[in-house]
Amino acid sequence: MLYRTLDCRITTIAFHIGAEPSHRDRCVTDKSSPNRANIAALIAVVILAALLLWVAQSIMAHNKLQNCLDSGRRDCLPVDAGARAP
């Protein structure tokens, strides 16, 4: 795909400077079908945004816990009432 794109660009440049294009018919693309690269980029951006949100929430929770511990409190972590030692 990348080779085809570069070949089409080189052919277009050669056409503009006066050379005879040899692969002009291969450079015609179908504009009606969605571009796979754009869809892949969109999916990558959505995944990165979700990952960024998760990391930001984790950092905020850690900072909240650290501030609680720095103030000298001992009850900073939530205690699970159902988990009792025998």
Q: Global pTM?
A: 0.51
User: Where are the extended beta strands (E) located within 5-81?
Assistant: none
Higher per-residue confidence, 61 vs 32: 61
Residue 7: exposure state from Cβ atoms within 10 A (0-12, 13-18, ≥19): middle
Give domain status of residue 86, yes or no.
no
21, 50: one domain: no
Average pLDDT over residues 12-24: 54
Local confidence band at 46 (pLDDT 50, 70, 90 cut-offs): very high
Q: Total structural domains in the chain?
A: 2
Site of tokens 């900073």: 76
The H or E element spanning position 11 is helix 2-16
14, 45: one domain: no
